[in-house]
Each structure stands twice: as C-alpha cells, then as structure tokens.
Amino acid sequence: MTAMGVEVSKLRRKRLWLTVLLVLGFELLWIVAILTVSLSRETTAPHTMGYAIGQASQVHAIVAPILATVVVSRLAAMEHDGAMLPVLFAANQSRGSLFLTKYAVAATISTTATVIVVAAVALVAGGQGVPADPGLMIAWLLGLVLANLGIVAIQLLLALLFQRQAVTLTVGIVGGLVGSFAGFVPPTIAAFIPWQYPGLVTPVRMEQTGGTITGFPLVDHLGVLIALVGVVGAACTAAGTAVFAHRVSR
Amino acid sequence: MSALGIERQKSKRAWILLVVAVLLVGLNVFNGAGNYLGNADIFEAQGLTWIAVWGQAGLLWAILFFPFLITVRAASLTRMEHEQANWRRLASYGAHLRIYRGKIVLLAGFVLLCQAMFVAAVLVVSLALGFDLTPSDVAAMLSWGLLGAVGGMTVAAIQLLVGILVRSFATNVAIGLVASIGSLMVTLVAPLLEAVYPYAQIGVGMRVRALDWPTLPETLGYLTGNLLLILVAVFVGRLVLRRREH
Amino acid sequence: MKMLLGLVAPTSGRVQMLGEPFSQRSAKRVLPRVGSLIESPSFYGHLTGRENLDIVRRIKGAPTTAVDAALETVRLTQAAKKLAKEYSLGMKQRLGIAMALLGSPELLILDEPTNGLDPAGIHEIRELIKSLPRTHGLTVIVSSHLLSEIEQMADTIGIINQGRMLYQGSLSGLEDAGRLVLTLEDAEQAAAMLRAQGWQIEQVQGREVTLPVYEDKHIPQLVSSMVNAGVGIYRVEIRRRSLEETFLELTERAQTVQVAA
C-alpha cells in the first residue's frame, strides 16, 4: 500500500524510534525491577505467571496509554508543523486514508511494544523460576493489543484535529494516569474510559488480606472484557475515521 | 520584571492548563479523602487525621500529576519559541537570555499556584471531614507545601532546559513523565537515591512518605540540593541558548 | 547577515558592527540599534499582529506609539487584529518588516524583503525601503537575488559568490561603458578603411564592427566618412551589457579562477 509506504518514509530522520525507546526502555527497566524485587521478597503468594502479570500490569497500565499518546502526537505534529494537511488533501490523499495509515503506523508501533513487554515479562518471570503459562500470556497479549486500538484511535483524532498537541497529550496522559488511583480502577468505571483498557484486560487481579498479597486469581468474564475492549476499539477507529473524513476545513 | 510581563502576554490560553490543574488537585484530594473515609476506623485508632489525607493525596500528586502539569507548562513555553524560528528572532534582538529568565519566573509562579491550590484543597477537605486542625497542623501543611514547591521548581528548571534542547512537544512531555514515574522506580530499587533524584524532590519536600517534620539538617540539605540543581539547570540552559547558532 | 547579528559564528575572520568589533558583550550595545528580518518572518501564530508587535516593542523598550507607527508604515493597520497565523505570506512579510522597524534602529538588515509580495506590494516596500534613510535616518542592508530590484533600490552594492565578495562599490561602477556597434553592409572593407583613418577597431564580426564609445562630437565624422566611402550603414548604436550579464560574467569568472586554483 503506497500510502503506508509514504507514511513510513515521512519518519526518516525524525528519530521517533528514540522517543519510543525512551518510554519502552523505561517501562522494561521498571518491569524488570518490580518483578525481580517483588518475586524475591514474596513469601505468601504463589509464584505463578499470574503473579508476574499482575505486578507488571500495574506498570503497563500506566505506560501503555502514555506511549500511544506520545507516538500519535509525534505523527500528527509532523503534519501540523509543516502545514502539510492542506497540501496532502490537495494532492488528492483522502482524509480517511490519511487517518487510517497514520493509525496503522501508530497501532503497529504500540502492538510491537506490547509484544516486547509481554515477552519481557515471560522471560524475567521465567528467569525467577516462575512456571510458564502460555495460555495466560496469550490472553493478556490479545487483550492488550485490542485495548491499544481504542486509545490510538481517539488520540489520533484529537491530535489531527487540534494543532495544539498540549490538548491531546493532556487528555491521553491524564486518562491513563487516572488509573493509578487505588491500584486498579473498578471495571465498571474503567469500561467507560478507553485509556484504562490496558488495565481492564489484565487476566488476573490482586487479592489482599490485611495488606499482604495472597495471590492473583483469574478474573471472571475475561472473555467479555476483551470482547468489549475490542468492540469499543473498532468502534472508535471507525468513528475516528468518519469524523476526520467529514471535517470540511483543514 | 518586564520579561515576565512579556511571557505572560504570550501565554494566552494558559488558563486551560490551570483548569486542568484544578481538576487534578480535586481528583487527588478526593482520592485522599475517600481513602481516609474507607479506612476511617484504622486512622482514628492511630490518631491520624489530615496527615492521612495529605499522604494519600500527596503521593500521586507529587509523583505524577504535579510534575505532569509542570512538564506541560514548561514544554508550552519553549515550544512557542521553537515554532516559526522565534528563538532566532529573539537572539537577533539579543533578548533570548532575558526571555529565558522571564519563562523561569513565570513557571515558578505556576508551580507556586498549583501547590497553593493543593494545600488549600487539603485544608478545605480536612475542615469538611471535621478534623480538628491546630495551628501547628496548618503550619505543617503550609511548610511542607512550600518545600514541595521548591522541588517543583527543580523539575521546572530541568524541564525548561529539556524544552530548549528538544524540539518536539510530545517527546518533551514523555521525558518529563518518564523521569517522574522513574522516581517510583528509584524508591523501589535504590531508596537512598531518592534524596538526590531531581524528580523525586517534590515528594521528599512534601513529606508524603515521611509524614513528619524534617529535621533542620534535612531541611537545609534539601534546600541546598534543590537550589544547586536549579542553578545548574538554569546555567546550562543559558549556556545552550548563548552558544546556539541559528 | 546572520554573522552580523551574532546568530552564527564566523569560521574565520572578524565582524565589526556599527564601529565596534562584534562580541557577546558588544552585542548588548549593538543589537538594540539594529533591526532585522532574516529568512522567513518569525511571529507567534496564536497572537494578533498588534500583539506580536507589542511584544517586540516591549523587548526593545520602544514607546507605545511605535506600534501604530510601524503598522502604518507597512500598511498592516487594517489587519492588526487578525491572528498572525492567518496572515497571507505577504502580510507575514510586512509584519516581519514592521518588527524590524520597532525601536528606531540605526541599521536595518533585510533578507529578501519583497519575498512573497504581489507587484503592488513589491513596489510599496521598495519605495518604503528607499525612503527609510531619508525619513528615519537609518541605513538599510538588503539582500536579494533580484538584480532588477537591487538596481532600483541600492546605492552601494556587494556581490557575494560562494562565500567571496566579488565586487563592492557603487552601482555605477558595475555599469558597462558599452561599445559602439556599427552594423554595415560590408564590415571587413569598412573596418579596414576606418582603421587606416585612425579609428580604433576592437572587433569585426559578421556585419558588425565594434569600436570603443567615442564622444558624441566624433560620431558625425565617423558616419560621414563611411557615407563618403559608399559604405552601406544599417545601424549605429551603443550596446551596454546589462547588470545581469555583468553579474553572470563576474561570478563565472570567479568560478573559473577557483577551478584553476
């Protein structure tokens, strides 16, 4: 698809990879730190992959929206800075096509980052003697990939509509940071905030008694949550494309 | 100071960020109050009142939300000059260093304002929850708030420098955010480094973990350390601006 | 031009501005006396034209009246309330010039000032620039690649090619004295005859005989001697090289010199 090729070639010398490396690298460092420290100190709860996922998910739920927001902002700012949107549209690129190709690039980057994070969790946990649990990992990975889609769609729409990137960055980051309150936001509320989806699709939840962690049992209705997330993500993508395509002015 | 006045004139829509700040303060303090009410019996038993709210609300405020606000404000201040080659124009007037000074002062005002809002919110909520606040309690809130603001100035100075070096708004914010969240990691992995890690200083100053008055040596160490960090950041910023070719 | 404003450091050599060697310290004294517009105009898009100018005024410490005066000078008074990011290219250019004028500078450095303007605008700005030394008592340095423009504006010009100053002096110094060119029926025969009579022949080519430009009083004699000899005369004219040709020749010559070196 030439539109994709064009989008990728626009990234030359932009050092987007550096920004991604900064955020992703930091997340990986943090996950490694938290997993090694918590697993080595943990005496009560069983060392399952669910435990690892539960711990790592607290980190990922905060960073994933940040990464998606920042990447999308960079992609949109590129066009705003050069005042290229009117030029592209005059050159007969359809607005829908622009939205979808940028979406595809951002989604690819997010998905790749997610895969790296999940792989890292598996590796580090395995290194600490945690037995492998491919089914759980795949469920988590699937959920996370779908969860990203909605975030990328909404953020892209905001980033392309508003030239002031401060707007999209504030929305995306605050939306993600809100989840840091009280560890997990209850699913009923999180279902309405797409930026909370990476946390929502965590296949396990923390069980505590009197302040100590006792385990990370599976969440009920995980399939429903993932489906919800996927549907909302798809809806956001469609809506985002439609809204952007119908804007009359640049 | 006219440079400050000029910077204020340029910041037309900064009020939007202040509204966001109010919301975030509200969110954090609400969370703190909710946490208190959820564990009211435990706290009552320990005789903790406003401190519980301060600790819970202040933790995320100091580590995430306050640095986020500072980062966005600093990034906006530098971004407007990167656009349209305004740094070059300012340099052609020989005004670039003066303008930098204006931005620092404006940012300092923003930091103080946000922190003041936080302290005020905790005060209000404490009164609403019916706490008995002694003058020493209020003094604690004000002092710790002020100390936290000093830490905020450190973050501000560093982020302003980052903004001069990095053109992209998003990357700027990403750096500030990652560095702020990194303070959580520092606390986890190397708690001793917390005293020197710049982005952790707000939390240290606000005593969100210690929840007690700092000793005199601690305070002096804190103030000197932060002042040093601020001076270094400002110095490097000036150096970069002066040497930069357009 | 960037070096004159301290925006770029010279790789070698020194810069002197307004009688002082240019340095970080002297910049503080010198730059307030200089107004400039380098490359594309800079402005804050989210502010109006007037607000932009007011900021520059405050930085330079100019009086409040300076803004209206500057707007008036560049004819932007009507559009002063519009956001700068909505300005057309020409209006942005005018805004940049207005900014340069604030603070009563002694020296104005303008980089392609008529860039993006329509013919009426070009004329206006050109007339403005020409009038500035008279009305504001300042000196203007203009850079342009449009020789026709420079011809109409400047008294003293410099030609820089590949980092070297090829010519610096008055415009008239570049004017070609020209050659007297006779287009004749039989150039060879006529040239031989004229040479024998003592006229200086520079070149004979085809039907053209080229001589240096003699004073007017000699021309009738030249023409009558040819007529008396029965030479068919088609044209008697003075041909001058245009400024463009002079410029191209200068730069080409410099290039060959460089290649040879």
Distance between first and last Cα of chain C: 28
- The residue of chain B with its CA nearest to that of C45 is B84
B72 in contact with chain A, both atoms CB, cutoff 8 A: yes
Percentage with pLDDT > 70 across chain B: 100
Q: Taking Cα atoms as reference points, which of B163, B85, B16 lies closest to residue C45?
A: B85
Domain C16-154, second-level architecture: 3-Layer(aba) Sandwich (3.40)
Average pLDDT, stretch A148-170?
91
Q: Would an 8 Å CB–CB cutoff place A174 in contact with chain B? A: yes
DSSP A6-65: HHHHTTTTS-HHHHHHHHHHHHHHHHHHHHHHHHHH--SS---HHHHHHHHHHHHHHHHH
Give residue-wise pLDDT tens across range A96-142: 888 888 999 999 999 999 999 999 999 998 888 888 888 888 989 99
Q: Say yes or no: B27 contacts chain C, CB-CB below 8 A.
A: no
Tokens of B208: 């969100």
What is residue C39's three-state secondary structure?
Answer: coil
Residue C169 has φ and ψ, to the nearest 5°, of: 170, -165
CATH architecture of the domain C179-239 equals 2-Layer Sandwich (3.30)
- Which residues span the domain enclosing A129? 2-245
For residue A223, the distance in angstroms to the closest alpha carbon of chain B comes to 30
pLDDT in tens, C177-209: 788 999 999 889 899 999 998 898 888 999 999
Is A109 part of a structural domain of the chain?
A: yes
Residues of chain B with pLDDT under 70: 1
Neighbours of B45 (CB within 10 A): 9
Residue C227's region, left for phi above 0, alpha for psi from -120 to 50, else beta, is: alpha
Q: Is residue A250 part of a domain?
A: no
Percentages (nearest 5) of helix, strand, coil residues in chain C: 45, 20, 35
CB–CB of A169 and B188 under 8 A? Answer: no
Query: With contact defined as beta carbons under 8 Å apart, do B2 and C58 qualify?
Result: yes
**Chain B neighbors (3+ CB pairs < 8 Å):** A, C
pLDDT band for position A182 (50/70/90)? low
- pLDDT of A48 strictly over 90: no
- Structurally, chain B folds into a number of domains equal to 1
Whether complex ipTM tops 0.90: no
Supply the pLDDT for residue A210: 67
Q: Does A81 touch chain B (CB under 8 A)?
A: yes
Provide the residue range defining the domain that includes B192: 2-243
Phi/psi of residue C64, each to 5°?
-60, -30
Is residue A200 a contact partner of residue A190, using CB atoms and an 8 Å limit?
Answer: yes
Residue A218, amino acid: L
Taking contacts as CB-CB distances below 8 angstroms, the residues of chain B near C9 are 245
- Rounded CA-CA distance A103/C104 in Å is 52
DSSP secondary structure code for residue C62 in this structure: -
Distance to chain B for A6, nearest Cα, Å: 21
Cross-chain Cβ contact A33/B185 below 8 Å:
yes
- Residue owning tokens 């902002």: A73
Kindly report, residue by residue over A78-88, the tens digit of the pLDDT: 888 877 887 88
Q: Which residues of A touch B175 (CB under 8 A)?
A: 22
Q: Rounded to an integer, what distance in angstroms lies between the CA atom of residue C21 and that of residue A31?
A: 58
Kindly determine whether residue C42 and residue B242, on different chains, have CB atoms separated by under 8 Å: no
pLDDT digits (tens, 9 = 90+) for A191-215: 788 888 888 888 888 777 766 777 7
Number of domains forming the structure of chain A = 1
> Are C16-154 and C179-239 the same fold in CATH?
no
Q: What are the boundaries of each domain within chain C?
A: 16-154, 179-239
Query: Which pLDDT value is given to residue B113?
Result: 96
Do the Cβ atoms of A170 and B35 come within 8 Å?
A: no
Distance CA B159, CA B173 (A): 9
Q: Are C101 and C108 in contact (CB under 8 A)?
A: yes
The Cα–Cα gap between B41 and B22 comes to 30
**Nearest CB neighbour to B169, from listed A77, A177, A181:** A77
